[in-house]
Structure 1
Amino acid sequence: MVTFDADLSFLYLASGVSLLVLLLLAWLAWRRVNKKRLAWRMAASSVGMISLMMLALKPQFRQTVLPQEAILLTEGTNQDSLQSLLQTFTGDVPAIFTTDSSSSQSFAKQEVKWTPDIAYLRRNHPQVNRLHILGYGLSHVELDALDSLQAIPHLSLLEGGFHAVHWPQLTQAGEALHLQGIYENKAAQPVKLVLEGFGLRLDSLEIPASQTKEFDLQTLVKESGSFVYSLNVFINNRLIAAEKIPILVEPPSLIRFIILESFPGFEVKFLKTWLSERQYTGIVRTTISRDKYRTEYINQEKVNANTLNATLLETIDLVIADEQSVSGLSSREQAALQQAMEEKGVGLLILWKEPQNRKGNLFTNSFKINTPPRLEEQPTRVTWPDMSSGAVSISATGARIEYSPGTRPMVQDEKGGILVSTQVWGRGKMMASLLNSSYMWVLDGKQTLYSSYWSALLSSLVAGKEPEQTWQIASKIPLVHHPLTYTLTTYASQTPVGLSGNVSFYLAQDALNPQRWKGTFWPDSTGWRVVQTEGGNPYWHYIYSSSNWKDLQWKERREATLQWANRQHMKLTASSTSVSQFVTKPVSSLWFFLLFLGSMAYLWIERKL
């Protein structure tokens, strides 16, 4: 079958122009007085114009080739699985290829051909239409290069190790770092997981022999900056794996606050000290008598704080108040606070000193509190998200916040009773707390626990500023010398260009979301790397060596290969199409050039005869 390497419009144009020129030459030859060799002149004119047209259209032959099978060895292939597969072929042994450079030496009994990538295999062996894949499989990028090639997986089983690992790669100083995951220990001895950093053992956990167990290693991040912790795996004090845990630690967000208290108390006294030590700026307003207040200013200049109005709330991120102060707000103050919460993202924390107090307004009535007949303080073990230890003891009454749709429990006792709860108000959040004795942790020397508690509450409550642009990467474990896809979301009007170091790469706009752009970059070194647009915010991320997190790499490749094969099988079954392959071979332009040159030479010589 003959095809042309040209689009349809150019094909029609070239054919039309050639036909007109051919008719012109035929007419000129016919009207000549000398009619000798007329047929030869007509033939030469036709050959010349057809040859010229073929030079422009570049014809090529499309031939059906006999389908062939091949075997691809990837990392993790063993000799037994290859031998078992070879025994299933009754005729000639298929060609064996590998993308793993070490496989050509590992399988000396077979002729194994190394191929740099799947695209090279497709390009140089187009007759292959079925590919048997052994080992742990291929990555998403390699699978995309398969195109219509039918993939048949014969994958190796994973040999234990990490099945999943997760940690926040961006956090704030003073917050707890949680390293969570699943580890399968197939060894006959226990395995010890150790989180290390700054030359210290920060946390550890033992996985019994022949067991799969979830783990949660924790530490408190105190300093800001970029750090690389280490997750080490030991058997009998012998190091068998050391994985990198990169983390970016930002300085704590500088919260601007105002505290409204109806009468002085120890909870607010210790809280304002803690806020001041973290360089937060704020105001503490304590009621002395009706419409009379004592005002303290922390790390800021004096302002008029007698009335909670829109002007004051413009400079505030968080309002902390007891229920009596909130209930005592005037209607104008309530309206100003509600607008600031809904439109500006201001947070409101209500500290309930007297849960039995039923006097309320729009804010305090948003939470329903169940109180027993007698409110007595008693030790209560509580937990909250991302805490760096197990349940801790604090003095609390028997009052509990009733759960309702739209609320989120923040602090709970061991029976699930809610002591601190949050709900969303427009762009802001409101939180109610029944705990008023966290200061006791400071008196007991548990400053770290106190800091963890209040950091968790405030970070959950205060709305962060939405960045003008955000970056994301597709891979959980980005590897050096592997393609890495970046996704940029930006509302800028100009076309963004990605910059990684001194190298720029282009971004393509998403067809459905005009604010989203995607681009691919090949990192050439390991370690911390920054990507940004010109004048944009830098996005820091870590590039791993190919030897890092091998368990997760193999698991991801295995799952991707199986999913690809299943999707392809369903597609072929639904369409009922074969996987026949075709080879396109271009016709050499030299032949058409020689024919054109010969025909033009004949027409020139013929006129001289």
Structure 2
Amino acid sequence: MITCIILAIGLVLQELRRANKHWLLWRVLAIVVACVGLACIALPLSYQIRVALKDKHKTTLLTEGFDVDSLDKNAKQVTFDEDIKKAFPHVQLITPKEINKTDQLHIYGYGLTGSDLQQLAGRSIVFHQANTPAGTTNLSYTSRLKTGDVLTVQGSFNNTSKQKVKLVLKALNTGLDSVIVAPKSGSTFTLTTLPKTSGRVVYTLTSDGETQGSLPVEVNPVKTLKVLMLSASPDFESKFLKNWLSGNGYAVASRAAISKDKFTTEFINIPQFPLDRISASTLNKFDVLIGDLSVLSNLSDAESAALKQEVTDNGLGVIVKADSAGGKSSWLQRGFPVDRPSGKEPAPATLLINGAKSLNKLGAGNAYINYQNGTQPLVTGAQNHILANSALSGSGKIVFTTLNNTFSWMLAGNKADYTTLWSALITKAARKSNDLADESSAATLPVTGQPTQLTVLDSKRLSVNINGDNIASIQHLNIPFEWDVLYRPTAVGWQFVHQNGNTNWFYAYPQTDWLAIQAVAKISATKNYEMLNEKTDIVTKQIQETVRINVPKIYFYILLLAACTFLWAETKIS
């Protein structure tokens, strides 16, 4: 600095002695600027600022699916996953509670599960999401079925390869249904099958031979119901149906006309009572009424009014069998117009029952039902003709069918198709119970070693026992009959939930099942957490420190060059 000051004084004195005084002031200013710039180049000039610590320190949390090339190599790298630690020894293995609260947390990969995110205690994060993985990314199916119900599996599959992928639904290593997914696409799929056995069954979904995951299904017998049968005459159809109902534990009361105002009655698994007149008290004893259209159309006004009130107000189900003598003015046939084309009767064909094909063919006759808005077809035959249709009627349901020779299946020994057909019709029509049943279901995909939240429905005081262990539960704040139970399965397979004398089941998946679904769930949970905690931090007041910043020398080089250029140019001009 002394050297530059002496230099500046000497140069200014020389300018004062100079004869040409025209640009004196500007030349003196340029000399001072040049000397100051020279001094600043030589001196280590700097300044101080206050910075937040979280802007300075960055922690990179690695989760499954992260891209190595996208990482900040200068940031501290940590993980909660032991597999990532084994693959990358330099990464530090920690728990969520060990993350420095003052560090800025960046999460790379698929993200974290809901339970891990809860341990972050609401601190803000920056999520660097990985691409959606290949495989089944979404899945939906009914895990609890009744005998005769069709298992329908729907979902989405992300095919990232350049080849087609074949999805196959299997049971006992046997393919039941399949679908092809185009290359480089994400598309939806639907697979169906009719379970042949009851009980707990585990299906699997494979893609080109590689297992995607398990599909646990519980097939329960159809609930024992009370059925009232009203027939125009004793015929084979009514006889075989009555025998099948009684053989499957149904309570059956049957009345068949043998002449005008004379009937033959039969009671199976139910006490006897008069059936000459149909009253509201009589109908209230049953869950389903199965009757010929001709009989139901010719009921007295009082009987018809009682039937209509029991269906619309109290939920009684009615299965109407169309016959040639049936009147078309009955309220039971509204919405079910029957077409009876003349000509040769169609050849026997397979039926589509609730979306699944029958194993054997059946001659369905010429009659079929024309579709009307507000109805739901249950059984279709050749040329997609509707043979059984259903509709709501107040609180109850009406099922209308033109099938009158299903007994031929039983004569041929085809009990499976007969059971499937009538189970579907009766289940659809049956009166629904208003009593709350004990039931448990998993709110998340139960994976071994990970906490799973179970939702238990129970109208009584709750006592939950899972696999022999008593588990505490929390009652829902707004729904008094709903309880939440947190459980961590330790073994793969079926787990039983025992409550108030009833037993329900759920399935615990291995950690290798449905990897893409697990990844998508983590991505969704982490994105939601990031959005909800975007402007919050566990530290209410930012911790700051003083940092010294060096002034770039380039600015002083420019000052020195500009001043010297002016002095040189002025000398040349003068």
**TM-score (normalizing by structure 2):** 0.74
User: Which residue in 1 is equivalent to 2:217?
Assistant: 247
2:335 is matched by which residue type in structure 1? F
User: Which residue in 2 is equivalent to 1:281?
Assistant: 251
Q: Is the Cα contact below 8 Å between 1:174 and 1:223 reproduced in 2?
A: no
Matches within 5 A, 1:59-98: 66-67=54-55, 68-82=57-71, 86=72, 93-98=74-79
User: Which residue in 1 is equivalent to 2:505?
Assistant: 540
Q: Is the Cα contact below 8 Å between 1:370 and 1:402 reproduced in 2?
A: no
2:94 is matched by which residue type in structure 1? T
Report deviation, 1:213.
5.3
Q: What do the CA deviations read for 1:82-132 (whole angstroms, capped 9, x no partner)?
A: 3xxx16xxxxx2221111112123234xx422123x3x14xx51112x322
User: Which residue in 2 is equivalent to 1:600?
Assistant: none
Describe the shift of the 1:204–1:301 C-alpha distance in structure 2 as closer, same or farther (beyond 3 A): same
SS in 1 for 2:518: helix
1:581 is matched by which residue type in structure 2? V
Q: Is 1:400 the counterpart of 2:369 in the alignment? A: yes
User: Which residue in 2 is equivalent to 1:296?
Assistant: 266
User: Which residue in 1 is equivalent to 2:443?
Assistant: 475
Describe the shift of the 1:317–1:375 C-alpha distance in structure 2 as closer, same or farther (beyond 3 A): farther
User: Which residue in 2 is equivalent to 1:602?
Assistant: none
CA distance in 1, matches of 2:398, 2:444: 34
Q: Is the Cα contact below 8 Å between 2:60 and 2:107 reproduced in 1?
A: yes
Report deviation, 1:258.
1.9
Describe the shift of the 1:434–1:375 C-alpha distance in structure 2 as closer, same or farther (beyond 3 A): farther
SS in 1 for 2:101: coil
Report deviation, 1:138.
1.4
1:307 is matched by which residue type in structure 2? R
2:321 is matched by which residue type in structure 1? L
RMSD: 3.5
Q: Is 1:490 the counterpart of 2:450 in the alignment? A: no
CA distance in 2, matches of 1:546, 1:370: 54
CA distance in 1, matches of 2:298, 2:489: 59
Matches within 5 A, 1:440-589: 440-442=408-410, 446-492=414-460, 494=461, 496-533=462-499, 535-569=500-534, 572=535, 579=537, 581-582=539-540
User: Which residue in 2 is equivalent to 1:203?
Assistant: 176
Q: Is 1:173 the counterpart of 2:143 in the alignment? A: no
Describe the shift of the 1:519–1:467 C-alpha distance in structure 2 as closer, same or farther (beyond 3 A): same
User: Which residue in 2 is equivalent to 1:112?
Assistant: 91
Higher relative contact order (CA 8 A, sep 6+): 2
Matches within 5 A, 1:130-169: 130-169=104-143
Q: Is the Cα contact below 8 Å between 2:369 and 2:389 reproduced in 1?
A: no
How many matched pairs?
489
CA distance in 1, matches of 2:122, 2:159: 39
Describe the shift of the 1:246–1:283 C-alpha distance in structure 2 as closer, same or farther (beyond 3 A): same
Q: Is 1:101 the counterpart of 2:71 in the alignment? A: no
Describe the shift of the 1:471–1:259 C-alpha distance in structure 2 as closer, same or farther (beyond 3 A): closer
SS in 1 for 2:427: helix
Q: Is 1:228 the counterpart of 2:202 in the alignment? A: yes
CA distance in 2, matches of 1:449, 1:72: 57
1:115 is matched by which residue type in structure 2? I
Which of the residues 401, 408, 425 maps onto 1:433? 401
Which of the residues 405, 422, 442 maps onto 2:390? 422
User: Which residue in 1 is equivalent to 2:354?
Assistant: 385
CA distance in 2, matches of 1:460, 1:169: 18
CA distance in 1, matches of 2:418, 2:522: 44
2:471 is matched by which residue type in structure 1? F
CA distance in 1, matches of 2:435, 2:445: 24
Describe the shift of the 1:69–1:474 C-alpha distance in structure 2 as closer, same or farther (beyond 3 A): farther
SS in 2 for 1:565: helix
User: Which residue in 2 is equivalent to 1:127?
Assistant: 102
Matches within 5 A, 1:336-351: 336-342=306-312, 344-351=314-321
1:385 is matched by which residue type in structure 2? N
2:244 is matched by which residue type in structure 1? W
- Greater Cα radius of gyration, structure 1 or 2: 2
Q: What do the CA deviations read for 1:122-165 (whole angstroms, capped 9, x no partner)?
A: xx51112x322212111222233334322322222233211233
Report deviation, 1:301.
5.6
- Report % sequence identity: 26
CA distance in 2, matches of 1:580, 1:487: 31
Report deviation, 1:190.
5.1
User: Which residue in 1 is equivalent to 2:292?
Assistant: 322
Report deviation, 1:349.
0.7
Structure 2 segments unaligned to the other structure (5+ residues): 1-51, 544-574
Q: Is the Cα contact below 8 Å between 1:205 and 1:215 reproduced in 2?
A: no
Which of the residues 319, 327, 330 maps onto 1:357? 327
Report deviation, 1:562.
2.6
